[in-house]
Amino acid sequence: MNYYYFYLLLISLFCYTQTAKAQIYLQYKAGYNFAAFNDDLGSPLAEIGTQDLTILEDGTVSEKTLFGTNGAGFSTAFSVGYLFTEHFGLELMLEYVKSPKLRLAEQNTLTYKAFHDIHTWRVQATPQFVVQSGGEVVNFYQKTGILLPFAGVNKSEGQVTDKEGTLARLYGYILRDQLPFEPTEELLSNVQTEVDIKANSYADFSYGFSSTVGMNVYLSDYFSIFGETTMTALTVRAKNTEYTQFDQVSTLSGLELLQNTLETLPTYLIETVYVSELTEQSNQADYNPNYNLQQAQEEVAFKLNFNSIGLHLGLRWEF
């Protein structure tokens, strides 16, 4: 008897959706995402730091936290949707987002200058539930979805000009392996270093949420234009970083002491794997005296904020 009611329900739903003119539609849109719900920024690199620090020649000091999000930038998307009634449906959107350059941290003093910039691109899939008003001329709608980034890269650019020996002291354990003599702390304090770096960081599995409200205006029975605004909430956890450029020159009293490129540096300095926790077994010099220079360095994972509010215009075809 229970099966009878079950099959009756299925038949009723089928008849209802057919009566409601179930249909498939395609959409294309483009627009711009504006930064929203900013977080503290800051570089994950200890030699650059997490603040915007300036010390002028007259002794004036300015230190502030940089706020922002990587979510701003141009975006374009293609969607396919299915309305199983006049008012309800499902949609799958594939979106490409390219963010402009963003400064994470900067130091600018008389003897130490450093900065870290980042710009990103990503491709994400967003399955969405659609609710719409319906209408022959104007249709209002709301969409709620789950953001699933599946491709992309965070590109970093950084530079350090160090005239106070900070880098030499910070990476003294590396210098001791490369120099033919044992450097003293006093000598390291007088080493001047310039470093130019570029790196690509990749994301671990992450997800977020989106909410969209919009309106489309029908130009014919099957074609319409639309405008919408979308709020995106997305935080991405870093998985690993690979340096694509690393040029370092260290001098002492005007004489070249050391020069390094990607080809001469150990894996430890040009590859990083991000983990949830560092212990004495981690491949990290600060925790493990037996770290391996020929393996990627381990660091605690950092997260990037991609929150935004976007404005888009697009075209919609219904079948």
| Beta-bridge partners for 156 | 118, 199
**Residue segments in the chain with a per-residue pLDDT below the cut of 50:** 1-20
Q: Is there a contact between 51 and 63 (Cβ–Cβ < 8 Å)?
A: yes
Whole-angstrom CA distances from 235 to 51, 71, 195, 225 are 21, 10, 30, 31
Residue type, 86: E
Output phi, psi for 292, to 5 deg: -110, 115
User: What pTM does this model have?
Assistant: 0.83
CA-to-CA dists, residue 147 to 26, 95, 234, 306, 307, angstroms: 19, 10, 8, 11, 11
Whether 119 and 156 have beta carbons less than 8 Å apart is answered as no
Contact 147, 116 (CB under 8 A): no
pLDDT, tens digit, 9 for 90 and up, residues 72-88: 999 999 999 999 998 99
Domains of the chain with CATH codes: 22-318 (2.40.160.20)
Determine the Cα–Cα distance for residues 302 and 284; give it in Å rounded to an integer.
16
What's the pLDDT tens digit per position in 147-182? 999 999 999 999 999 999 898 888 876 777 777 777
Distance CA 241, CA 279 (A): 20
By CB atoms closer than 10 A (0-12, 13-18, 19+), residue 149 is buried
